[in-house]
Amino acid sequence: MVAKFDSATAMLRALASFLQGRDFPMLGGRPWAEPLAGGLLGLVNRLPEGLRERLYIYSGWSEATPPAKLARVRSEELADWVVDHYPRRRYSAVLVGSSNGAAVHLAAALGVPWLPQTLLLPVRQRGVHPDEPAQDLEAMVEPARALLAANPDLVLHHKHDANQDRLMIQRMTYFRVKRLRLGAAYERFLADHLEPGGMLLLVDCTLSWPTTKVGDRHVFQQGALGGATVQEAHQGSQRVADYLRRYGSHRRRGDPPPPDADRPEAEWGFEPAMGEDVERLAADRGYRVRRIVFDQPEDLSPLVADLYRDWYRRRGIPAGRLLVESFILLEPWLALVTGSVPLWLVFNTEPSLATIHRYLDAARPFDEIRMTLFSHGVESVGLPTIDQWRSVLHRAGKVGSFLGVDEQAFPRDFATLARYHQALARVRKRYPMPRSLSLEELDAFLDRSGERYAVDWR
């Protein structure tokens, strides 16, 4: 029911692999199949563009759930599925809340799990044009009602992004569900696996988006964080018009239902109701709570990168390797094994390119810069060229390289999903896995330098 290709799932699996003492080949696929998949997808990269796009659409559709089955979804089963990923032991802390690649690296450093608030349930649909968001909404009202009736502790964010998800939304709809409460499965997991008096770290990304209320616990979101701005998603722009013309659309701007309020962004934003529930549970059970509050998903990335760099320095490891990660192409285990400073980027678009350049402007130079680069199949608004991405690599003192990227095929490089891990796994000069950072060490780092970042620790 839950999408494998989604941020929450990939991050959950990457972190679970880490806590099991493993790296993360092929987004959690079978390690032995990696070379084969890399080869086959390499052939796919050579197919004509149209055919490659059809395959991408099909891969999304094949994971999606028929609308009629949504009524069978139970939020507690989803939560059970989440916690089943993690090794059964006592943790000093547990992260709860927003999906965030930097938070995954923070959790890995601390050696603790993360309980996601948001999951993606892709729903099959057909016959709705990508540039007809109102039709998509209408077609999904009934399945949404059935889903929500059966799950009173979920709020549904129906997201429609004809810019970056143009291929996927031809045969599926993005239903993101956010938990309003921890629920029985998460509470049981905490009772069994969080140390008495342990710490709940609430990952609270305050990113919001103009949305339309469809019904009780049901909102509709037009557009998403990425290359196009909020305004462009709703009012359009010249480059949106150019983009739609390029893709042969009958429209020159999106025509979404009018938004009525800003609400948590579907994929990254934190729904505050769950925060209250976490506070309640902590008060009942004597846990400590700390909120990690930030506005943009990438705000946490420089802080976590510098935390790693500081950690390497204290361990006597040269801290001159940077691993730039794109969206779900992340590798917490190999980051530490190769002594790489992880800097997570939310996607492959212009604002993310600006983030990495800003980080490099402020940081001491890196000898080696390696970068994963996600391909979503669309030459969407605000997508930098491969040359612009390469400019990041040129900032390395010695070695700048893409990890398993087919530069000619970007942004339709589907082989990278099977290749980025392999490329990173081949990097030589490795370091032993350190013991986890303690919360005290994290605090000491924050005391030394916490003010520098756009992150509020409450």
Partner 1 sequence: MGAVLDRLVDRRLARAAGSQWTRVDGRRFHARHAGPEATTASPVVCVHGVGVSSRYMVATMTELASTFEVYAIDLPGFGLTDKPPEVLDVVGLADALAAWIQVAGLGRPALLANSVGCQVAVDFAVRYPERVSRMVLVGPTTDPAARTTLGQVLRWLRNLPGERPGQMPLSVADYADAGVGRVLRTFGHALVDRIEDKLALVQAPTLVVRGDRDPIVPQAWAEEVTRLLPHGRLAVVAGAPHTVNFAAPGALAELVGPFLVEVDLA
User: CB within 8 A of 9, min separation 6: which ones?
Assistant: 2, 3, 119, 120
Tell me the closest approach of the beta carbon of residue 214 to partner 1, in angstroms.
49
| Nearer of residues 288 and 398 to partner 1, judged by Cβ | 398
| Nearer of residues 272 and 397 to partner 1, judged by Cβ | 397
| Nearer of residues 153 and 406 to partner 1, judged by Cβ | 406
- Long-range contacts of the stretch 35-39 (C-beta < 8 A, 24+): 35/422, 37/417, 37/418, 38/404, 38/415, 38/418, 38/419, 38/422
Q: Which helix (H) or strand (E) holds 243?
A: helix 238-246
Dihedral class, residue 377 (left if φ above 0, else alpha if ψ from -120 to 50, else beta): left
- Parallel, antiparallel, or unpaired for β 218-222 and 456-457? unpaired
Tell me the closest approach of the beta carbon of residue 399 to partner 1, in angstroms.
5
User: CB within 8 A of 102, min separation 6: which ones?
Assistant: 297, 298, 300, 301, 303, 304, 305, 342, 344
The residue count of the chain comes to 458
User: CB within 8 A of 306, min separation 6: which ones?
Assistant: 341, 363, 449, 452, 453
Tell me the closest approach of the beta carbon of residue 312 to partner 1, in angstroms.
15
Tell me the closest approach of the beta carbon of residue 425 to partner 1, in angstroms.
9
For residue 4, the one-letter residue type is K
Distance CA 108, CA 85 (A): 14
Tell me the closest approach of the beta carbon of residue 232 to partner 1, in angstroms.
34
SS3 category, 331: coil
| Nearer of residues 364 and 458 to partner 1, judged by Cβ | 364
Distance CA 14, CA 336 (A): 13
| Nearer of residues 363 and 423 to partner 1, judged by Cβ | 423
Tell me the closest approach of the beta carbon of residue 397 to partner 1, in angstroms.
7
Tell me the closest approach of the beta carbon of residue 322 to partner 1, in angstroms.
13
| Nearer of residues 315 and 398 to partner 1, judged by Cβ | 398
Tell me the closest approach of the beta carbon of residue 428 to partner 1, in angstroms.
4
| Nearer of residues 74 and 398 to partner 1, judged by Cβ | 398
| Nearer of residues 20 and 408 to partner 1, judged by Cβ | 408
Spell out where 180-224 has E strands: 194-205, 208-215, 218-222
Residue 292, beta-bridge partner list: 203, 457
Tell me the closest approach of the beta carbon of residue 366 to partner 1, in angstroms.
12
For 93, 186, 239, 335, 436, the CA distances from 189, given in Å and listed in that order, are 12, 5, 48, 28, 21
- Which residues form the interface with partner 1 (CB under 8 A)? 367-368, 397-401, 407, 423, 426-429
| Nearer of residues 31 and 450 to partner 1, judged by Cβ | 31
